[in-house]
């Protein structure tokens, strides 16, 4: 027996299968709704087995949360060096994602089913990379002197996220350009005048 043989590592995750599962979940949400988007249905559409899904996502809700709220495999927007422009880009991305049929079907169901502290923490973990990127964008703008250093980036992020989610769920992308400009402008004003009311 060769004692030098290294222990075999577990099989690496197949990112292609992960993406197929997320795509299948979004498609089912759009086509049949939240209640009918089951693990079994997702597995059939993605052509994977259910145990493989549960190895990656502990619950149906966790999978749907990532399908709806995750980045979807798309990179976060690159900063342009102009905060007003960057905020408009973020608003548009968030609005379009919230207006997708999958989000419009999934978000209300998730809100009803995900009331536990564990569910809230899981959702925060999914959004952590996005929050971090938003914080860094605001930090860079502060370093350029465009906004005050005391700006509360997470407060602005919550305004961005909450407002685009409500708009996307209720009105889709109706009057999209006006909404994007209005919300981005409001966020920019809040950032520029952070601390001014103290």
pLDDT in tens, 116-173: 777 777 777 777 888 999 999 999 999 999 999 989 999 999 999 999 999 999 999 9
Burial 163-174 (b: 16+ CB within 10 A, else e): bbbebbeeebbe
User: Rounded CA gap, 23 and 68, in Å?
Assistant: 10
DSSP state of 125: H
Residue 198 predicted with pLDDT over 70: no
Token pair, residue 8, equals: 């075999």
User: Rounded CA gap, 83 and 142, in Å?
Assistant: 10
In the chain, DSSP finds a helix count (H) and a strand count (E) of: 9, 0
């Amino acid at each position: 027996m060769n004692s030098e043989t290294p222990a075999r590592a577990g099989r690496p995750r197949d990112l292609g299968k992960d993406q197929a599962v997320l795509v299948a979940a979004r498609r089912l949400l759009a086509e049949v709704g939240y209640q009918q988007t089951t693990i079994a249905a997702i597995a059939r559409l993605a052509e994977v087995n259910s145990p493989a899904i549960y190895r990656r996502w502990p619950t149906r809700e966790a999978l749907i949360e990532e399908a709806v709220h995750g980045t979807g495999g798309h990179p976060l927007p690159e900063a342009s060096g102009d905060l007003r422009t960057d905020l408009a880009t973020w608003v548009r991305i968030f609005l379009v994602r919230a207006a997708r049929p999958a989000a419009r079907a999934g978000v209300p169901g998730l809100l009803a089913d995900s009331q536990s502290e564990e569910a809230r923490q899981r959702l925060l973990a999914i959004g952590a990379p996005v929050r971090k990127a938003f914080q860094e964008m605001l930090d860079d703008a502060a370093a350029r002197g465009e906004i005050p250093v005391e700006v509360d980036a997470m407060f602005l992020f919550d305004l961005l996220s909450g407002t685009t989610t409500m708009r996307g769920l209720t009105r889709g992308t109706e009057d999209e350009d006006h909404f994007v400009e209005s919300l981005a402008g409001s966020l920019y004003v809040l950032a520029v005048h952070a601390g001014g009311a103290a």
